[in-house]
Structure 1
Amino acid sequence: MLILHTTIAIVGIVALILKAKVDPVIALIIGSLYLGLATGVGFTSTVAAITGGFGDIMAEVGLLIGFGVLIGALLHAMGAFQKMVTLLVDGVGGRRLPYALTAAMSTIFPAIYVDVQVVLAAPVVRSAGPMIGRRGLPLMAGALGTGIFAGYVFVVPGLAAVSIAGLMNISLGSWILYGIVLGPVTAILTTLVFRQILRSGYWKPAADEAIDEAEPVEQEANAREEGATVRERTTTPPLLVCLLPILVPLVMIGGGAFAKLFGFSHDVIAFIGDANVALFVGLLGAYLLCRRALGSEGTNRALGEGFHTTGEILLITGIGGSLGAVIAETGLDAILAGLFTADAGAPVLISILLAWVIAAVLHLAIGSVSVAAIAAAGIIGPVLGSIDVSPIAIGLAVASGAMFALQVNSNFFWMFKSLVGLTTQGTLKTLTVVTALGSVVSLPLVMIVGLLA
């Protein structure tokens, strides 16, 4: 009954949003209340989970979202993203741009929190989309989503990758060897498949895109005109200088992550590498650059637009965390633990498939890739000794499954929707689809590892 009620809650939320046109915040609260009460969590505990989940998510990503959105607003006002997109298109070509983006996200940036990645990369996706064709926005959105999560689960020091390796006593050296291949291969293959899907008439811009809910027509119509205007601004700093508010935080966060990974971190390095501190440094740099380029009036106008966007994103992100917290209270992980223990002596491919299924179900239920990966690794780790399969193969299967079909019970889903400029339906057709595809595409690769390792 627990799995049934969880399914009803998630399907009900999607139906309320897509069919009944209920606001996502209201639909998510209704789904959370139903799930908590139907599964016996109780009235008081359900409310506590909803409020606690909201607070936990805000403590984790609230400042990251706020600082990141403001950085994006300031750099957009200066024309930095339009310049960057023009350079990328000229350098790799519009056709290859999605593959360049997904490869970079899955190999270079896994040291960065996924929330930071989407905050910093979304403006590039929105700017580049119209420049590479009428299916450009969904293709770039799909490339971004699959790149972020393929790196997150397979490539060290992605949080999910490091967590699985640690919980299952897999050496990081072995994980790095396999993960650095599986991550980008999964991302690029998934983007190739998704591009073919988009050619079928699958994408409906009028229903799937919401470039700017405040000014949906103006922004898209004037995108190219803005690019021309930017080139005429003699006060705008060079592109490399404009991008320093993004590059410096990436270096700070990445340096802190590697320092921790290799055991030479201390308080000062941890402070400098903290994502909140790094993004505040980026915000301060963007603010100073914008003041110099556009003056106080232009800077305040850009900040005002950023604050307007931030409020909506914070609310819906927090409510997404509330649903995840209610699901965690139901005890679904205990049911799945019994399932794997019962089949501990299964053949190699069956064991890999079962590990993948457990992680995928946990992700569908909980809504967090990292929590699903950690929970699945915690469930399977104790029985690894009784399974005649290489631990690295089981660990990679957990990583692959934990990526499966990120959807409405994830706070990241709502961040992605708002930042990239999609409707709920459009986000399901991009982020949910590419993470499901990436998970399925990577599974045969993991099975090959299991047969060879």
Structure 2
Amino acid sequence: MSDTAIIVNTVVAVLATVLLIVRFRLNPVVSLVIGAAYLGLTAGLGVEGTVEAITGGFGDILAEVGLLIAFGVLTGAMLQRAGAIERLVAMLLRVCGPRGMPYATAVTVGTVLQSIFVDVLLVISAPLARRLAPRIGDHGLPRMATALAIGLECGIVLMVPGVGALALAGLLGVPLGTMLLAGFVLVVPTVLIATAIMTFVFRRGWWDPIRDEQAELAAAGPVTGGSPAGGPSTDDAGPAATAAAPDREPLAAAAAPSSTTLTDAGPMRRDVSLLLLFTPLLVALLLIAAGAVLEVAEVSVPVLAFVAEPVIALLIGLIGTTVVCSYATGRTAVEESVAGGFRESGQILILTGVGGSLATTIQKAGLGDILGQYFSATTVAPLLMVWVIAAVLHVAIGSVTISAITAAGVLAPVAPIIGLSPVLVALAAGAGSLFAVHVTSNTFWLLQSLMGQTTRGALKTCSVGVSVASVVAIGIILPMSLVF
């Protein structure tokens, strides 16, 4: 089959997948499998070869990251049940002060809290951010909303253990320690720079409380403390209008750790320090990072090499979190958290697997050999191309994870041929998938509703804010290609 035919059929397969999801509202998992099947058959793989590519790609990527995703989600579910997020926000407020909270929120959400399932993290953190908004000075609401949006979305696809970052690492064969270190190097400056840019824009008059905040919140006027007056209106809330309104208790209710501190799981049974709650997860991430450093330094320490393996490190973190949270909240609460975590991780695992199916089919169709003739690792063209593909897919589909996985799959076969580091392809795909988070995204509507914004306001804080982060990220990735 000619090179042109393979390229055309690959484009048709990707466009057909997008069309099935957007126009016919077919489940993304089914749509990705259909796209992979079409490409395999039209590329000459035959029935048996096509089925083998689909099932083999599914199994390969789940073998690589399936346990990692499950361990990460379960760890996050227990931390959420223990009230760790509320207490962490209160601690950041004490340490960073009101004016530093947007930056502290963006960095923390984009790094440390990525083990928590994104919708759960958003529903818990958004009401806290909204209560903090009046206390951080001018334009507090848009600054906190933007910081939260940027941190959430960047962390998902760029920072281990974000589910998108894990999927991209597995898809491209990137060692998880390398993905962790490279992601951290990218995420921290990205969220800080993007948040600073948006703060500058808001202070130059780009935010109108009358039109950008929901009526009852804007009518309340500026306040110096406490909580905003009223919850979000459902008049302009979109699909997430039924989301729970932010609770209106003072922030102090979620602050000081005590045996009577309330969480959505009920009272904590014992007083456990915030550092102790997060210690197992932090130890796991440090072990993974240490393994990557030892590998680069070509130092062999068998025991450390074993515990630094991502699966073992996250297992240690999961076991440690289970012990600490069992002490803090009781065995019943932990068991309920684990059950909820398994429900959340199921859809993520299947979606990740079928993303691997499409990527494997593209690889076996020979697209990598074809594109490898036109690109070289000394140019920025491959990274810009994967960024653009991910951005276009995200605009059409509205899913950060799906667009990142699909875009990375297109150029995954190219990386080894031209000598381009796969971690750069993973980061570029993740950065591109952040572009233009808009009304097709559940995150958009949750932020709009829970932060008390109108749709117009959410387009500024979420859509524009995360798009700025996407552009900043690719601007940082390109010079990173000189190092990785």
TM-score (norm 2): 0.62
2:75 and 2:317 in contact (8 A); partners too: yes
Paired residue for 2:43?
A: 39
Instruction: Select 1:280's aligned residue among 306, 315, 319.
Output: 315
Deviations 1:20-71 (A, max 9, x none): 3322222222222222223333222221111111111211111111111111
Q: Which residue of 2 aligns with 1:63?
A: 67
1:379-398 deviation digits (Å, cap 9, x = unpaired): 4449xxxxxxxxxxx99997
2:357 aligns to what? 322
1:169 corresponding residue in structure 2: none
Q: Hey, what's the Cα distance between the residues in 2 that align with 1:68 and 1:242?
A: 15
Structure 1 counterpart of 2:279, one-letter code: L
Distance 1:207 1:312, change over 3 A: farther
Distance 2:337 2:185 in 1: 41
Report the equivalent of 2:52.
48
In the alignment of these two chains, the number of paired residues is: 390
Deviation readout 1:172-209 (Å, 9 max, x if unpaired): 9xxx9x9998775444334556786996979x985576
Distance 1:181 1:221, change over 3 A: closer
Q: Is residue 354 from structure 1 mapped to residue 350 from structure 2 by the alignment?
A: no
Residue number among 18, 27, 32 corresponding to 1:28 in the alignment: 32
CA distance 1:193–1:8, change in 2 (3 Å): farther
CA distance in 1, matches of 2:248, 2:296: 42
Q: Can you give the 5+ residue segments of structure 2 that lack an aligned partner in the other structure?
A: 131-140, 161-165, 214-233, 255-260, 394-402, 435-440, 448-459
Partner of 2:115: 119
Q: Deviations over 1:123-146 (max 9, x none)?
A: 655532332247766752433443
8 Å Cα contact 1:129-1:138 kept in structure 2: no
Inter-CA distance 207–273: structure 2 relative to 1 (3 Å threshold)? farther
Change (3 A) 1:25 1:131: same
Distance 2:268 2:320 in 1: 19
- Partners of 1:376 and 1:433 in 2: CA distance: 31
1:270 aligned onto 2:283: no
Cross-structure match for 1:88: 92
1:305 correspondence with 2:302: no
Aligned residues: CA RMSD: 5.2
SS in 1 for 2:45: coil
Contact 1:403–1:435 (CA under 8 A) maintained in structure 2: no
Establish whether residue 242 from structure 1 lines up as the match of residue 277 from structure 2.
yes
Is 2:142 aligned against 1:140?
no
The SS at the match of 1:128 is helix
Point out where structure 1 has 5 or more consecutive residues left out of the alignment. Answer: 110-115, 153-157, 166-171, 211-215, 345-350, 383-393, 408-415, 423-428
- When residues 180 and 70 of structure 1 are mapped into structure 2, their CA distance, relative to the original with a 3 A threshold, is closer
Cα separation, partners in 2 of 1:265 and 1:305, compared to 1, 3 Å:
same
Moved more, 84-93 or 132-141: 132-141
Relative to structure 1, the CA distance from residue 164 to residue 76 in structure 2 (aligned partners, 3 Å threshold; closer, same or farther) is: closer
> Equivalents in 2 of 1:58, 1:371: separation in Å?
15
Q: 1:99 to 1:74 in 2, by over 3 A?
A: same
Which one-letter code corresponds to 2:433 in the other structure? L
Superposition map of 1:431-450 within 5 A: 440-441=471-472
Aligned-partner Cα distance in 2 for 1:250–1:144 = 18
Q: CA deviation at 1:448?
A: 8.8
Decide whether the 8 Å contact of 1:12 with 1:31 is kept in 2: yes
The aligned counterpart of 1:229 is: 262
CA distance in 1, matches of 2:300, 2:463: 36
Local SS of the residue matching 2:299? coil
